[in-house]
Structure 1
Amino acid sequence: MNEREPKWTRRKDARPQEIIEAAIDEFVAKGYAHTKLTDVARRAGVVKGTIYRYFETKADLFRAVARHLASENLMAIQNTPGAADVDALTLLPLLLGHVAGKMSDARLPGIVRMVLLEGRMFPDLASVWHDEVIARVAGVLTGAIERGQKAGSIRAGDPALMLFSVMGPMLMGVLFRETFPDSPFAPDLRALGVQHADVLAAGLRV
């Protein structure tokens, strides 16, 4: 094995992630319809044919983007010690603080905006985002709510409906900032996450 081989191996292993990161930037900048794999390849520093080694179509590439974003955002919560056992009152400050931090990065709100704007033209786009992101986040939250209800710490109610009370204000804050970035009412997402967690804890607690 010569000295160059490990570098080549690491580079090859890193290519799918580099392509995904480049795709996120292209989707945010141009939207789904106008993103071309040629431009993704150029941004990633590879030839277009390299993309086809890992992703057969642009739709496959977007699915990989959705999986990456979901995993990246859920990993921090799921890797918290005891996260699988805690209820929503414990999990909410962690989750909302993490979401606020990620939403402060323009790329994630940009992808959300793209899905909202182009989901009707490309139904598969919305389906992928639902299955790979929404459903996974919803599963974590509703599971935490159900555990709290069984333990008697969280009031009775439909966990699936409570989910909208949990995430609604954060999504509204993101959309407001995206639509009215210069408004004096555009919220600080981190501060919103902290305050919303306090409000939810009071509202959910038995």
Structure 2
Amino acid sequence: MMTNLFSVFDPSTSIFNLPLNWISSLMVLIYLPLMYWIIPSRANLIWNKLMNSLYSEMENLLMKKKSPGSTLIFISLFSFIMFNNFMGLFPYIFTSSSHLLFTLTLSLPLWISLMIYSWLNFSQHMFSHLIPQGTPPILMPFMVCIETISNMIRPGTLAIRLTANMIAGHLLITLLSSNGPLLSSLTLVSFLISTQMLLMMLETAVSLIQAYVFTILMTLYTSEAN
């Protein structure tokens, strides 16, 4: 049962045993031509409003003068993660964001490049972050160790948070749906369908929220370094 349960997260396929399911991550490109319509649709207007809100929020966090262009990078990151989360809600489409390989590929290069840039250009500022203001002298060595460890595990926590939230909802939906053929009462079947609909609404919200959380945390890490 566990093999069948977790098989929805298996990236391999039966075609020459190639991981072709990762192609679903490129389906985001299908939505790009919508931006070039002369008369924007309602969906496009909603999307533009969302992007403008994110841009203004991230601009305040990053302080545009110190990080020119960083806001567009994080908005692109948010869009990419959100679309991949939404793609995983459709039947028979591989959920790429439920794998650490995918999430670490997003968080680790950004964090490493941020650390290299910050330590080379703002070394004194980065050293000052290792000891919070007002720390007693006797606790300073311990605070340096704690702050260093917490800084080093940041890409891992970002990746695991996104992966765990994507896996949890999908597993719950799969577990409930597997019990459908075993139910004989129409009342229980109606209750199961209603529960599945509520879970799908919750997963839709989680897909958006987790993309936002991932992007905002990465933005905060960047603002701290600058």
User: What TM-score do you get using the length of structure 2 for normalisation?
Assistant: 0.38
Per chain length, whose mean CA-contact separation is higher, i.e. which structure has more relative contact order (CA < 8 Å, sep 6+)? 2
User: What TM-score do you get using the length of structure 1 for normalisation?
Assistant: 0.41
